[in-house]
Amino acid sequence: MTRTVHSLFLGGCAFIGGVVGSILLHHSMTRATAQSTPPPPAPAPINFAANPLAQLSDRFEAVVKQVSPAVVSIEAIKPPPPATNGATQRTKPVEESGSGILVRLDGINGIYVITNNHVVNNAPADKITVHLADDRMMKPTQVWADPESDVAVLKLPLENAPTALLGDSDRMRVGHWVIAFGSPFGLNQTVTHGIISARERGQISLGNTIRIKDFLQTDAAINPGSSGGPLVNLAGEVIGINTAIASQSGNNSGVAFSIPMNLVQRIARQLVEKGVVSRGYLGVQLAQAMDAEDARRLGLDKVQGALVESVYPDTPAAEAGLKTNDVILQIDNVVIKNENHLINLISGMPAGQKIRLQVWRNRQVQSIDVTIGDWTAAKSRLQSMQ
């Protein structure tokens, strides 16, 4: 018994000694390894010159820094709308909010805000408040509006303030990057980005007052409150004024529309210089869209041109001999894509200009000479006939 216990004791001591020795050896090796292994190298700095995404990010940041000081938010208090269909007259004023951009117009003194008509329409100047990026608030001294294009211009009592550069919207192509500025849901100085998704969009419904529809389409996020804000290219130039979205919910769905800046500039200059926008007209009612069935019925081999539904009496179109079911295919050397294309071209022409139309009638092309009329003088009479 004593021999057995002694053996166990010696074996236990040997085991414990082995364990302790192993721990000490492991600890010694660990320390030696730790001392001999160099520290990991510091991460290399990003080479922005060789990283296109980093360069693009820097470009976005530079554009935002350049343009943001000229972006404004707008609040307008409008009188209650008139009652319709026997409804009870509303007594509370309507509050509208939107966005805008500070600009200078070549050859015209002063600083102006460009925004949408639907943001400020019917609101007197003393009920419109412009919030600048530096938190100043002011009332416009004068307001001009063009409901047919949804453009409005506000004159501010400012001598010096940051203003945005105005770009050439005709140079924008599908796929070009753009940045949208605005105040969606009251969140001032919000910036989103996207691309130009399409050009010359016109087949969209924006209410009865808007006739001039020639939009840039973008997938940059635009929401309520962003109306009137600028759409900007990566050169920091305003190439459009955001005006509408296509959405069933009323919020961004990736399909938004911006008025091209070249059109906005022409309208803004006329509003400030003359108080009204001069436009030409023919005096025809056009089909909202010509589909494949209409083209086949008329003997056309493709869907193109503007289909005349009716001709108003005592108008340039009536005097020139245009008829119902004529399809206007061309103005001088310009091929007509659709009814909006025709309206936009004619509207941009001065009264008295002579043009030659190529018209599809009785399954053949005919030439008809027309003298452009003055839309401002004829508008009231024609609108009462519709």
Domain of residue 147, CATH code: 2.40.10.10
pLDDT band at 212 (very low <50, low <70, confident <90, very high): confident
Both 212 and 176 in a single domain? yes
Q: How much is the pLDDT for 206? A: 66
Of 103, 136, 156, the residue that ends a domain is: 156
Q: Enter the tokens of residue 329.
A: 């295919």
In a domain, 298, yes or no: yes
**185 pLDDT higher than 70:** yes
Both 173 and 226 in a single domain? yes
Catalytic residue among 227, 258, 326, 341: 227
Min mean pLDDT across 116-120, 128-132, 246-250, 350-354 is at 246-250
Tell me how far apart the alpha carbons of residues 239 and 218 are, in angstroms, rounded to a whole number. Answer: 12
Q: How much is the pLDDT for 90? A: 67
Q: How much is the pLDDT for 53? A: 82
pLDDT band at 291 (very low <50, low <70, confident <90, very high): confident
Min mean pLDDT across 60-64, 154-158, 375-379 is at 375-379
pLDDT band at 39 (very low <50, low <70, confident <90, very high): low
Domain that holds residue 224: 166-274
**43 pLDDT higher than 70:** no
Tell me how far apart the alpha carbons of residues 233 and 240 are, in angstroms, rounded to a whole number. Answer: 9
In a domain, 20, yes or no: no
Q: Work out the average pLDDT over 35-55.
A: 64
Active site residue 150: yes
Cβ atoms 232, 170 nearer than 8 A? no
Both 147 and 193 in a single domain? no
| Sequence-separated (6 or more) residues with CB below 8 Å from residue 164 | 67, 70, 71, 101, 102, 103, 230, 232, 236, 237, 238
**152 pLDDT higher than 80:** yes
Of 274, 304, 337, the residue that ends a domain is: 274
**280 pLDDT higher than 60:** yes
Q: How much is the pLDDT for 29? A: 45
Cβ atoms 271, 154 nearer than 8 A? no
Both 294 and 364 in a single domain? yes
Active site residue 135: no
**23 pLDDT higher than 70:** no
Catalytic residue among 150, 214, 219, 326: 150
**Domain count across the chain:** 3
Active site residue 227: yes
Per-residue pLDDT of 293-313, as tens digits, reads 989 999 999 999 999 999 999
Catalytic residue among 97, 99, 118, 258: 118
Domain of residue 323, CATH code: 2.30.42.10
**12 pLDDT higher than 60:** no
Both 220 and 138 in a single domain? no
